[in-house]
């Protein structure tokens, strides 16, 4: 399993508020907060404090959005391993954010023959931006999320404007590569729209499938 942050209980300097359900905040400010009823969170800036905040608050996060220059694999893994994230329905890594994956984290997000061990089992919406670090594994993870009978994923979105410039492409930097792209485009029972820089996939419960190539935005 991935690494876990060792947090501490609320201190005398912590501010506890039991009626906040939704919050948009720079992540560093979470260091002073305990929000046990929080369910929807959008953070900006470096996310190092997020795993400790979740451990202190013991909230049930339904929606998490991250807007940062870079999302490191260590605190992303710790966040997704948090008990607060078992309820997660929507995860958005906002456009412009580079997200670093490890092979271990992608494996833990992938449905296999042992679905009880998968991270974020209730996830319905997943949006990523500029994935890095584990080429050839992102596509199979998404494929498993749309095809495994116990998965709830309904929509996947991915955007990376650097793909317009091959010299800066993640195809070179070890992220979302051609194997990932072809694997995702082979998912059955979905509607797919894609261009050189983005892809959008929506599940179709009736078994229909469509594929549409769009101009880059």
Question: Is 59 within a domain?
Answer: yes
Q: Please tell me the distance from the alpha carbon of residue 84 to that of residue 211, in angstroms, as a whole number.
A: 36
Question: Is 9 within a domain?
Answer: no
In sequence order, which residues have a C-beta less than 8 Å from that of residue 73 and are 6 or more positions away?
100, 101, 102, 105, 133
**Domain residue limits at 70:** 18-163+171-213
Q: Please tell me the distance from the alpha carbon of residue 91 to that of residue 42, in angstroms, as a whole number.
A: 10
Give the model's pLDDT for residue 129: 86
Number of domains in the chain: 1
3-class secondary structure, 143 = helix
Question: Is 4 within a domain?
Answer: no
Q: pTM for this one?
A: 0.86
pLDDT category at 130 given cuts 50, 70, 90 is confident
**Pairwise pLDDT comparison (52 vs 168), residue with the higher score:** 52
Q: What is the DSSP string of 87-111?
A: T--EEEE-TT-EEE--HHHHHHHS-
Strand partners, 24: 42
pLDDT category at 155 given cuts 50, 70, 90 is very high
Residue 75 is inside which H or E element, if any? helix 73-81
Give the model's pLDDT for residue 7: 42
Question: Is 134 within a domain?
Answer: yes
Question: Is 12 within a domain?
Answer: no
Q: Is the pLDDT of residue 23 over 90?
A: yes
Contact at 8 Å (CB) between 79 and 51? yes
Question: Is 6 within a domain?
Answer: no
Q: How many residues does the chain have?
A: 217
Structure confidence by residue, pLDDT tens digits, 81-116: 999 999 999 999 987 788 888 899 999 999 987 888
Angle at 36 between CA 77 and CA 92, to 5 degrees: 40
Contact at 8 Å (CB) between 180 and 135? yes
Question: Is 2 within a domain?
Answer: no
Question: Is 1 within a domain?
Answer: no
């Amino acid at each position: 399993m991935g690494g876990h942050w060792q947090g501490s209980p609320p201190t005398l300097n912590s501010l506890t508020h039991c009626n906040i359900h939704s919050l948009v905040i720079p992540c560093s400010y979470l260091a002073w907060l305990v929000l046990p009823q929080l369910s929807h969170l959008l953070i900006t800036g470096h996310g190092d404090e997020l795993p400790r905040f979740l451990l202190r608050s013991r909230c049930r996060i339904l929606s998490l959005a991250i807007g940062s220059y870079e999302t490191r694999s260590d605190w992303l893994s710790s966040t997704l391993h948090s008990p607060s994230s078992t309820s997660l329905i929507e995860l958005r890594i906002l456009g412009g954010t580079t997200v670093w994956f490890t092979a271990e984290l992608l494996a833990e997000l992938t449905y296999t023959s042992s679905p009880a061990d998968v991270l974020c089992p209730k996830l319905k919406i997943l949006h990523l931006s500029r994935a890095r670090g584990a080429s050839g594994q992102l596509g199979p993870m998404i494929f498993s999320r749309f095809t495994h009978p116990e998965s709830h994923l309904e929509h996947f979105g991915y955007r990376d404007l650097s793909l317009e410039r091959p010299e800066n492409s993640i195809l070179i930097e070890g992220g979302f590569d051609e194997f990932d792209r072809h694997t995702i485009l082979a998912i059955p029972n979905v509607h797919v729209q894609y261009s050189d820089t983005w892809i959008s996939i929506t599940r179709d419960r009736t078994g229909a499938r469509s594929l549409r190539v769009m101009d880059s935005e």
